[in-house]
Chains A and B, each alone.
Chain A
Amino acid sequence: MKKIYNKILLLIIIIITLFCIYKIELKLNKIRKEKKLVESSVVYNAPPIIAFTTVALGGFRGIIADILWLRASLLQTQGKYFEMVQLASWISKLQPGFTGSTTFFAWNMAYNISVTFANPKDKYRWVENGLNLLIDAIKNTPNKIGLYSETAWLYLHKFGYVYDSSYKYYRYRLAKSMFKVTGTWHPDWKAYADIPENKEDMMLLLENKYNVKDTDISTFKLLEHLEKHDDLPDNFKSNLKSDKAANSVELFLRKMRLKNNFYMEPEKILKINSTLGLLDWNLWQAHAIYWLFNAPQKPLPKNREFVSFLFLALKQTLKNGKLLLFDKDNYKAIYTGPNLGIIKKSSEFLKRNILETEHKELYKQKYKIFIEEAIIQLFASGEFQQAEKLLKIIKKIYPEDKIYQNGLRSFINKAIPFKFFLHDKTAISALIKRNLKLSNIYKYRNDFKHSNGRRNFALFLYEAYNSSSPDDKLKSFYKFQKAAKVQKIEKYLIEH
């Protein structure tokens, strides 16, 4: 009997203890939620490796990620970077919900590690590793908007600014990679978008449209051949019977490469082009805009970071949004010029989607800066009518601003010192040189309007800031520029 009593007593104690634990657990869970001690977001539609690590390792994945992080820090202090890519990739796979680790490692690779190398090629490898890490994370966790803004920022800051001495190399490599994927400087994105995405649909298209049956389009072999020779194998082409069919297959493969190498979709590119104007996809600003536009949860216009980056990307596009010169053997020959084609659509988009919303006050100043930049670029290119038109628009939006009241010339005179930081002769000289170079480039593109515009703008700057000196000096400088650069420009000119 005593034994039975003991057992009952123990059972009661167990039940009471379990009840107490249950109560405490409830309270603890509430505190964890309130104090945000746990990552509550769930990763949906994750690839198998992410699903496996998050489910199979459970709570231990945090500990493993910590250990890997410690190893990464230790190796970095020792100057050993070989493992960094691998460790960063593992950590982001172990903690897919925590974008902070991915963005940290991407920043670390693109900024801290890249600068420890002297050679631009080595530097770019690390910038690219940083970008790839972010884009891989986007593939795995497409619902994390922080990854999109970080990717855009990396493009805008690393490629767009000149703080990094190797910025020209970065731009050169990106343009080269894009050219390798598309095979042309001006891809027909509509044609890309119309091509099917998978092998089965492509076979069906070949059969229905070109009457090509049972053709093996084993993508791996063809992709490998395209990668090596930038063309399809001759025997494969002859099997397809027509050039049009061969072009379609090539386009299909290039579309695949675009997805594999940049994780970009032509349909989305097409949409951005129709919204903001024709962007040059060989350049970094277009890539930045792509990630800003394709972030989930529609962060525009409510997310200030996204809006700021979009304004920055558009400003950079205005200044340097068109690839003008490129030499595949010399990265220093790369040259970019303004993309005026985006002004109309972009300003309309910004006005409609940002300025005419409840967030108006936040972005009024940014919009103003963008329009001012557009006016200056139009003026510099000799597009005075368009510049006047824009000035009228901005005058209406900002009637209190005196800078817009006295016409275009007055605005330019007042705005330029601030816009171009013309605080010393070196800056002025650099700006004059740039405009003269642009003038030469436009001349060889038979774009005489813009060529004259740029030359006049250079003269305007020279007169405005070197008024005491005779014009002969500038003229001789211009002649020198012309003689020295003619051959090079002709050789590396990017066609219209």
Chain B
Amino acid sequence: MKAFFSINRITFLALTRSYVFQTVLAFLLLCVIGLPMLLSGDGTALSHIKLSIDYTLSFVTFILVFSILWTSCTVMNSDRDKYQLHLVVVKPVSKVTVWLGKFFSILVTHTLLLFISMAVLYLVLHFNLNSSTYTQKQREKVYNKILTGRKTIKHDFSGLKQLYRKNWKEKLAALKKSGEVLTDRNKKELRQEIYFQTLTNSGQVEPGKSSEFIFKNIKEDSLTNIILKFRIFVGNIKMISKQNKPKAAGAWEIFDPRTKKYNKIKGSLQDYTSNIFYELKLPAGCLSKDGTAKLRYINKAESVSVFFQITESPVLYITEVPFLNNYLRAFIVIFLSLVLITGLGCALGGVFSFPIAVITVAAYLVIGSISNFVTLSSKSALDIKKEQSFEKSLTDFLLSVIIPLSRFDTSDELSSGILIEKSKIFDLLFFLILCKEFPLLFLCIYIYSKKELGLITKK
């Protein structure tokens, strides 16, 4: 252990004394202090604070990733490049210890930089919010919507899958009866059509009728601040083109498990404009023992149906943790991304020369990001079985091997006040770092330990 700590200390000191560290620190400070001043949102406090968090954290992560990539590949190669490694390896120290010592020192250095940046950003955000000319109302909005950790719970539409299957079977039976034969292509198109029909019909509320929405898995202690967010679409395309923004009267009711009756939500009876998001605060005591909340929307319009896009809304926002807690979670996720890059940089830096290592790690990260992007576009709400295609196979393969760095991006969640779930942190740590990265690290450390380094003393 003594050797490990010695290497760790020497590398850490060398790094902190280097110009690279000082330059990166200066850049980071410039970024966290300067960027919030330069950014201009849409003119509201909400947008300014959101952009400040989003952009600054993204820039901080980018600078740190770039710095780690460069530093780790340099540090692992510097002894060899300067023909000094024999001075280290002739001592009774294993190469694994050398590797680990360097790895931890790089990680600690950059974690320190991350900590400084995030601490300064936290102060800057609060300073900007409180010292600017924003009204109290605007500030409250920022505290309620951004500087918080809200969990989002979507309406439970698991029954939709069964409904879709039922509709599909009925359609097939009807076609069989009429003797119509479907080609594979027609079948695919028909499935899509029935999927959209099921989806649209499930979100439709006819005039004078109501539609029920169920929200599950709500924690009992999160009763005080639950916000319902939704938007409706009024009528059909003809109406939308005829009127500037069609409206429909409607009201929300919430199920009270004690009285077993639906009660009106205060302030919910109004004319709702099509395609505009609304938010309502739910009253306390609306949760059943199993953590379920039931809501229903009553369409009070006389002749027009309204539609919910049920994969998107209605949704409940529940404040679970304060902002600082969520901020620390974001810190942990960014730290995990630093672990990933430091590991990759050190591993490949130990095996390859500096330029090859840098290019390989950069390529690894870019491919990871692209593969993740491709997968996102192929998902659907009902998870209809897709036909196997070359692109999908390739994406699956890439994703099984490569770690997408974009999975570690939490700036959007943090800047939207959305809770960074513990399960997400666990997923990143276990599946991406332990299961995917560590085997690669072990392999590279093994190669590094077996590598013939005697040649480098020749000069």
Instruction: Give chain A's interface residues, CB within 8 Å of chain B.
Output: 79, 81-86, 89, 115-118, 125-126, 128-129, 163-165
Contacts and interface: CB of A to CB of B under 8 A. Distances in A.
A82 B244 contact: no
Interface in B266-321: 273, 275-277
Contacts of B92: none
A129 B244 contact: no
A89 B40 contact: yes
Contact of B42 (A118, A125, A163, A164): A125
B51 interface: yes
B41 A82 contact: yes
B47 interface: yes
B446 to A, nearest CB: 39
Contacts of B275: 116
B276 A117 contact: yes
Contact of A129 (B43, B46, B50, B273): B43
B245 interface: yes
A125 B44 CA distance: 9
Interface in B203-258: 244-245
B273 A82 contact: no
A375 B301 CA distance: 47
B456 interface: no
Contacts of B394: none
Given A79-B277, A83-B54, A165-B244, 13 more contacts: A82-B42, A82-B46, A84-B42, A86-B39, A86-B40, A89-B40, A116-B275, A116-B276, A125-B42, A125-B43, A125-B44, A126-B42, A163-B244
Contacts of B50: 82
27 contacts: A79-B277, A82-B41, A82-B42, A82-B47, A82-B50, A82-B51, A83-B47, A83-B51, A85-B40, A85-B42, A85-B43, A85-B47, A86-B40, A86-B41, A89-B40, A115-B244, A115-B245, A116-B276, A117-B276, A118-B273, A118-B276, A125-B43, A126-B42, A128-B43, A164-B244, A165-B244, A165-B245
A79 B230 CA distance: 13
A6 B244 CA distance: 78
Contacts, number: 42
Nearest to A82: B47
Nearest to B278: A118
B280 to A, nearest CB: 14
Interface of B: 39-44, 46-47, 50-51, 54, 244-245, 273, 275-277
Contacts of B273: 118
Most buried by B among A84, A86, A129: A86
Contacts of A128: 43
Nearest to B276: A118
Contacts of B46: 82
Contacts of B47: 82-83, 85
A128 B44 CA distance: 13
A86 B50 CA distance: 12
Contacts of B245: 115, 118, 165
A89 B43 CA distance: 13
Nearest to A79: B277
A295 to B, nearest CB: 26
Nearest to B275: A116
A293 to B, nearest CB: 29
B77 to A, nearest CB: 29
Top 9 A-B pairs ranked by shortest CB distance? A82-B47, A118-B273, A118-B276, A85-B42, A82-B50, A125-B43, A165-B244, A82-B41, A86-B40
A81 B244 contact: no
A393 B372 CA distance: 72
Contacts of A129: 42-43
Contact of B51 (A79, A86, A118): A86
Contacts of A85: 40-43, 47
B6 to A, nearest CB: 44
A126 B42 CA distance: 7
Nearest to A75: B412
